């Protein structure tokens, strides 16, 4: 994979903006303030996470907090081992949480802990369960706080929830119905609630981008012109998908005299 990403030339200017967690107002698909070409690589995982969180596309139909895919991080920071290790330390410090997604092999979504808790709050409010209210509180205070891995065993979940009070099987079903847990034989995976449609858009968008490039004669296109294209099947923008596909190895970038070129990698 001969990926030659360039450092952001105006990095100094960009640094100030990543302290703002809020989305810039004029971030619309056609008038990108932050073009992907300038923003393709970062020096540090936390900087990359914050920048990508700020650039998360706004989806109208679903209210979802920003999340970042692991493959996007790999495309942004040069040294993958450094990314893994920094993510691990951020996870241990409870700054971010990592979730395993079921879209394809080894997909992980990274979300800042505050965003995740906000997302949980929004979902719980909408559920309006009277009896089950406590479960969500117990879940938040006991389970999320102490179990940092993306999965949890049945026994351990039971024990941790019991620290809050008497747990019945119905409570765990409530958690599953809310979308906070996904059941797997013998264990549960933590999940981001309300994310189903976005994940569908993610896989469809990936296929769309790859098929678009595969249909072209030489299976390549300039990054600048790719960014301007609109995706029909995905609510997430082109930049999100490009970062993800470059990081997972399906696309590679080649430096040319007129800018970066995106090409389908044959491997």
Binding mask 205-244 for another protein (x = CB under 8 A): ----------------------------------------
Is residue 93 near another protein by the rule CB under 8 A?
Answer: no
Report, in Å, the least distance between residue 178 CB and another protein: 24
Distances (CA, A) of 98 to 5, 95, 104, 116: 26, 10, 16, 10
Backbone angles phi, psi at 264, to 5 degrees: -75, 130
Within 10 Å of residue 38's Cβ, how many Cβ atoms? Answer: 17
Return the residue of 40, 54, 69, 83 that touches another protein, per CB under 8 A. Answer: 83
User: Which residues pair with residue 69 across a beta bridge?
Assistant: 109
Touching another protein, residues 155-184 (CB under 8 A): 155-156, 158-160, 162-163
Is residue 89 near another protein by the rule CB under 8 A?
Answer: yes
* R_g of the chain, CA atoms, integer Å: 20
Return the residue of 72, 119, 248, 253 that touches another protein, per CB under 8 A. Answer: 248
Is residue 7 near another protein by the rule CB under 8 A?
Answer: no
d(CA 54, CA 24) in angstroms, rounded, equals 8
User: By C-beta, is 27 or 43 nearer to another protein?
Assistant: 43
**108-112: strand order across its sheet:** 68-69, 108-112, 96-100
Long-range contacts of 19-26 (CB under 8 A, 24+ apart): 20/54, 21/50, 21/53, 21/54, 22/54, 23/54, 23/55, 23/56, 23/58, 24/54
User: By C-beta, is 44 or 88 nearer to another protein?
Assistant: 88
Is residue 20 near another protein by the rule CB under 8 A?
Answer: no
CA–centroid distance for 262 within its chain: 22
User: By C-beta, is 104 or 170 nearer to another protein?
Assistant: 104
Contact 110, 68 (CB under 8 A): yes
Touching another protein, residues 130-149 (CB under 8 A): 149
Q: Sign of the CA dihedral 155, 156, 161, 166?
A: positive
Is residue 186 near another protein by the rule CB under 8 A?
Answer: yes
Tokens standing for residue 50: 């914050």
Determine the size of the site formed for another protein (CB under 8 A): 30
Is residue 85 near another protein by the rule CB under 8 A?
Answer: yes
User: By C-beta, is 33 or 163 nearer to another protein?
Assistant: 163
Note the residues at the interface with another protein (CB under 8 A). 1, 74, 79-81, 83-85, 88-89, 105-106, 149-151, 153, 155-156, 158-160, 162-163, 186-187, 248-250, 265, 267
């Amino acid at each position: 994979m001969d990926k030659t990403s360039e450092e952001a030339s105006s990095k100094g200017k960009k640094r100030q903006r990543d302290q703002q967690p809020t989305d810039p107002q004029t971030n619309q698909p056609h008038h990108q303030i932050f073009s992907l070409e300038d923003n393709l690589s970062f020096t540090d995982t936390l900087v990359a996470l914050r920048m990508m969180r700020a650039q998360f596309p706004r989806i109208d139909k679903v209210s979802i907090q920003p999340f970042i895919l692991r493959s996007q991080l790999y495309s942004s920071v040069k040294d993958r081992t450094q990314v893994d290790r920094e993510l691990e330390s951020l996870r241990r410090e409870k700054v971010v949480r990592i979730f395993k997604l079921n879209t394809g092999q080894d997909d992980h979504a990274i979300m800042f802990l505050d965003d995740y808790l906000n997302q949980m709050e929004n979902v719980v409010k909408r559920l309006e369960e009277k009896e089950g209210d406590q479960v969500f509180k117990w879940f938040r205070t006991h389970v999320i706080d102490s179990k940092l891995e993306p999965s949890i065993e049945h026994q351990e979940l039971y024990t941790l929830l019991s620290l809050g009070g008497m747990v019945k099987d119905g409570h765990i079903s409530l958690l599953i119905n809310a979308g906070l847990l996904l059941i797997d034989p013998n264990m549960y995976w933590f999940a981001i609630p309300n994310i189903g449609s976005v994940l569908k858009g993610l896989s469809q968008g990936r296929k769309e981008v790859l098929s678009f490039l595969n249909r072209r004669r030489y299976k390549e296109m300039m990054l600048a012109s790719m960014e301007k294209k609109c995706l029909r099947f995905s609510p997430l923008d082109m930049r999100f998908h490009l970062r993800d596909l470059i990081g997972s190895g399906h696309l590679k970038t080649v430096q040319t005299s007129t800018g970066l070129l995106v090409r389908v990698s044959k491997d």
